[in-house]
Amino acid sequence: MWVVLVLLLALSSGALSLDKLNMCMDAKHHKVNPGPEGQLYLQCAPWRDNACCTANTSTEAHEDNSYLYNFNWNHCGAMSPECKRHFIQDTCFYECSPHLGPWIQKVDQSWRKERILDVPLCKEDCHSWWEDCKNDYTCKTNWHTGWDWSSGVNKCPANSKCRKWTDVYPTPMSMCEEIWSKSYLYTTYSKTSGRCMQLWFNGTNPNKKVAEYYLNNAQQPQSFALTMLLFLGFSSLSAMMY
């Protein structure tokens, strides 16, 4: 009986390490496990209590062409500071969030093993991002692929033209969904709804409850399998005890 009990404990601690409510994705700069990071820089500071990013990553997130991705925001002339702060926040959210579990997917990419897909964004965050960028310029809709990287930083590919932001992205929805190839899903939920993820917040991270909501309300095959496994485990335990 003790053997079974020990096996069950091992099984359930294995289940805890799969904790989708508090985990870091397997990508380029993420920590293995989330934890406190007292030194997170400026716009990344809201994640100090529990983060997947290091202080170094949080500082680099604020730099142009940082070593994180060598990404050049100023590919069609200097990006305005009002617009850029949204990209910094987006980087903090991507690098630091420990509550993206429900939307993490495996990918076959050279620079990361996992990505996020269809993270439901709060309407206000998507709209203010688009509003603050709408006088800027870009040459591409999807910023994940198709750049000319020959110089080491991304430049507009030869066949492209710099166009007004609103010509490339007619709506906030088109921008939020297309810019990072569907990492984000546009929603009409507001920041008070508890049904959408917030890029901008102060105080306690509101996104944990949102992740919890989606974990409990979406039928996840893995959690079903886990429940069955634990159920079978406990049944065999009680069968041995009685």
Contact (CB, 8 A) for 172 and 128? no
Cα dihedral 39, 63, 142, 30 in deg (nearest 10): -30
Q: Quick one: 201 or 213, whose CB is closer to ligand NAG? A: 201
Q: Is 59 in the site for ligand NAG (CB under 6 A)?
A: yes
Q: Is 186 helix (H, G, I), strand (E, B) or coil?
A: strand
Backbone dihedral angles phi then psi of residue 44, each to the nearest 5 degrees: -90, -5
**Interface residue with ligand NAG, options 12, 33, 39, 56 (CB under 6 A):** 56
Q: How far is the CB of 195 from ligand NAG (least distance, A)?
A: 16
Nearer to ligand NAG, 56 or 105 (CB): 56
Span of 8-16, 53-61, 81-89, 231-239 interacting with ligand NAG by CB under 6 A: 53-61
4 and 53 in contact (C-beta within 8 Å)? no
By beta-carbon proximity to ligand NAG, the closer residue of 59 and 220 is: 59
Nearest to 110 by CA among 136, 58, 149: 149
Residue among 89 and 183 whose Cβ is closer to ligand NAG: 89
Identify residues 186-225 at the interface with ligand NAG (CB under 6 A).
200-202
By CB under 6 A, residue 67 contacts ligand NAG: yes
Q: Are 61 and 92 in contact (CB under 8 A)?
A: yes
Does 235 bind ligand NAG (CB under 6 A)? Our answer is: no
Alpha carbons 237 and 241: distance in angstroms, whole number: 6
Least gap, CB of 50 to ligand NAG (angstroms): 18
Instruction: Please report, for residues 99, 174, 231, the alpha-carbon distance to residue 219 in angstroms, rounded to integers and kept in the order given.
Output: 18, 28, 18
Name the minimum Å distance from CB 14 to ligand NAG.
33
8-16, 54-62, 135-143, 180-188 -> range binding ligand NAG (CB under 6 A): 54-62
Per DSSP, helices labelled H in 134-206 are: 165-168, 172-178
> How many C-beta neighbours within 10 Å does residue 117 have?
16
| Length in residues, the chain | 242
Binding residues for ligand NAG, total number by CB under 6 A: 7
Q: Minimum distance between the CB of residue 2 and ligand NAG, rounded to whole angstroms?
A: 48
**Piece of the chain touching ligand NAG by CB under 6 A; list 59-67, 78-86, 99-107, 218-226:** 59-67
For residues 101 and 215, the answer to whether their CB atoms sit within 8 Å is yes
Quick one: how far is CA 201 from the chain centroid?
15
Stretch of residues binding ligand NAG (CB under 6 A), selected from 9-17, 56-64, 158-166, 229-237: 56-64
| Footprint of ligand NAG (CB under 6 A) | 56, 59-60, 67, 200-202
